Amino acid sequence: MVHQHSDQSPPRYGAAGSAAIDTGLRAYMLRVYNYMAVGLTLTGTVAYFGAATGFYASIVGTPLFWVILFAPLALVFFLSYRIERMQLATAQICFWAYAALVGLSLSGIFLVYTGESIARVFFIAAASFGGMSLYGYSTRSDLSRFGSFLFMGLIGIVIASLVNIFLRSSGLQLVISVIGVLLFTGLTAFDTQRIKNIYATDEDGTIAGKKAIIGALTLYLDFLNLFLMLLQLFGNRRR
């Protein structure tokens, strides 16, 4: 690992300045986690009621199903590339809308897996995510050196998943799920550190708020994909 050194000494903060930075960073990260938690709650609630009411089953095989399936992808790209030009309130609405659409598209898991196994896997995913996010926040190691490796792994997972749509290979799906668990566990630590490192004390509330939304979206996706990979490995299917 190569570190860049500077001839200039790092700025020294007094006790009050360091405390202010720590307090601001904690508030910023708490905002990120709160957005993420509410988003996941919204996703889970919509997914459950989409299955329980029969709405999801009624749209399977119709054009609306494909709209709901691909709408979250379009919305996440729109949010990621346009957020700098949005009002903060608009960005928040887009995030909530995205979380709700993802929930509706995932309603099918309640029809495939037992509720007990979904709950069990959720807590396994939450514990794994929490541990790795804490590590990413607290470690002094520079995790950015793993960025290229993680990105290539993500691209590989996406390509393999698309190929397996046509192959329908249970063996390939097992490999994808195992690698996916490792990949999204690593991404959780990597993204947490990256989100922490882009915090700045001198930003206004709007910019900080938008950063918190994008950070929440990133960790939301890490958790959701980790959960889905674990569910494919450990979920009990309905008979």
- pLDDT value of residue 201: 82
What does the pLDDT look like over 137-189, one tens digit per residue? 999 999 999 999 999 999 999 999 999 989 999 999 999 999 999 999 999 99
Backbone φ and ψ for 200, nearest 5 degrees, come out as -135, 140
What is the model's pTM?
Answer: 0.89
Q: Taking the domains of the chain in order of start, what are their residue ranges?
A: 19-234
pLDDT of 8 reads: 40
Percent of the chain with pLDDT over 70: 91
Return the pLDDT at 1: 42
Q: Note the pLDDT tens digit of each residue in 22-73.
A: 888 999 999 999 999 999 999 999 999 999 999 999 999 999 999 999 999 9
- The C-alpha atoms of residue 170 and residue 186 are separated, in whole angstroms, by 24
Phi, psi of 58 (to 5 degrees): -75, -20
Q: H helices of 83-204, where?
A: 88-105, 109-112, 115-138, 147-167, 170-197
Output the DSSP codes for 4-73. Answer: ---SSPPPP--HHHHHHHHHHHHHHHHHHHHHHHHHHHHHHHHHHHHHHTSHHHHHTTSHHHHHHHHHHH
Question: Residue 98 has what pLDDT?
Answer: 96
Q: Mean pLDDT for the chain?
A: 90
Q: Rounded distance, CA 191 to CA 147, Å?
A: 9
pLDDT at 196: 95
3-state secondary structure at position 239: coil
* pLDDT of amino acid 158: 93
pLDDT at 18 (0 to 100): 60
Is residue 223 within 8 Å of residue 129, measured between CB atoms? yes
Write down the pLDDT at residue 6. 36
Amino acid 20: pLDDT: 56
